[in-house]
Amino acid sequence: MKILGIETSCDETAAAVVEDGTRILSNQIASQVEIHARYGGVVPEVASRQHILSIIPIIKEAMAKYTWEDLSGIAVTIGPGLAGSLLVGVNVAKAIALAWGLPITGVNHLEGHIYANWLDSHNIDFPVVCLIVSGGHSDLVLMRGHGDYVVLGRTRDDAAGEAFDKAARILDVGYPGGPAIERAAKGGTASIQLPRAWLKGSSDFSFSGVKAALLRLVEAGKVSSVADGAASFQEAVIDVLVTKTVAVAKERRVRCILLAGGVAANGLLRKRLVERSPLPVLVPKSILCTDNAAMIATCGYYRLKAGKTSGLDLDVFPSLKLA
């Protein structure tokens, strides 16, 4: 079963063909990072206009070796994300589905991030705990089966990726913030004491405190080395993410931990989680952690197999939740 995945929820225009939910046949991503860099963040109106320019060429590239008759269905991100951006992908997906009589399924972007793990591994035994860390979310999710989620914890303020992006602005290390902090941290040590919000008794996260503490120290001239600032910030955020994820996984007696979302591309997070977890940890390749359409196609494969098709009245849901 070959599924065409389409992803336009934020600032990446992406299309991919995935076979049987695991094998990537093509995976095209047009990043808008350089366009938004001059504003220091994603400008929604600019993003949706750029999606319009990129979507057809990107789908053509993804489909270069395949015909529409080769496909068994189309999977498209319907939310959460920017309304104007999501609309571009959803409307193109519906047009293809209508023209070729293909089934279409709307995919939750966060569910897509989780399914990036199926692109590398075929046999994942449930239940699992997933840590989804992206620009907009830090969710701890119990997954009991395909499409069966219980959200155990979420961020109460800034998402992990958002915190990285803001810290990068405070330390002036570049855009996008996550990779910039990781690069800057390589030359430093985590020698600056920054607070950790443990929120005892809860699986929720909070990262606004550590960000504010970093800002205060920088303003007071107490961060003499940007590299040490970046390393200390990165260590503080990762310490909380890893400690809470391992605790929840043990408490719920799951089979393994899945890491997902753009922040999962962070080398130290990947390393620390593997080091500190007594359970197996699955982490997708870095390129499959950040936004892509292969993960959407994989999730779509499992949805279509379960009979979860959508009609041509499929709409976008900018604030879509996982469960």
Interface residue list for Zn ion (CB under 5 A): 134, 291
Closest of 233, 238, 243 to residue 209, by C-alpha: 233
Structure tokens at 59: 């789908």
Q: At what angle do helices 44-62 and 83-100 cross, to 10 degrees?
A: 30
Place of tokens 């959460």: 80
Rule CB under 6 A: choose which of 32, 266, 298, 310 binds ligand KG4. Answer: 266
Identified binder of ligand KG4 from the candidate list 177, 229, 284, 300, rule CB under 6 A: 177
Residue 40 three-state SS = coil
Min dist. Cβ of residue 302 to ligand KG4 (A): 20
Task: Tell me how far apart the alpha carbons of residues 135 and 218 are, in angstroms, rounded to a whole number.
Answer: 23
Task: Return the residue of 194, 265, 283, 296 that touches ligand KG4, per CB under 6 A.
Answer: 265
- Residue 291 found at the interface with ligand KG4 (CB under 6 A): yes
The span from the CA of 288 to the CA of 32, in Å, is 17
Per-position DSSP letters for 216-264, written without gaps between them: HHHHTT----HHHHHHHHHHHHHHHHHHHHHHHHHHTT-SEEEEESGGG
Please tell me whether residue 10 binds ligand KG4 under the rule CB under 6 A. Answer: yes
Nearer to ligand KG4 by Cβ, of 62 and 295: the residue is: 295
Both structure tokens of 26: 């093509």
Q: What part of residues 87-146 is at the interface with ligand KG4 (CB under 6 A)?
A: 134-136
Is residue 45 helix, strand or coil? helix
> Given candidates 73, 79, 161, 300, which one binds ligand KG4 under the rule CB under 6 A?
161
Q: Is 203 in contact with 152 (CB distance < 8 Å)? A: yes
Q: Which is nearer to ligand KG4, 60 or 267 (CB)?
A: 267
Cβ-based nearer residue to ligand KG4, 97 or 237: 237
Q: How far is the CB of 110 from ligand KG4 (least distance, A)?
A: 8
**Identified binder of ligand KG4 from the candidate list 89, 262, 284, 300, rule CB under 6 A:** 262
178 lies in the binding site for ligand KG4 (CB under 6 A): yes
Note the residues at the interface with ligand KG4 (CB under 6 A): 10, 134-136, 161-162, 164-165, 176-179, 182, 261-263, 265-266, 290-291
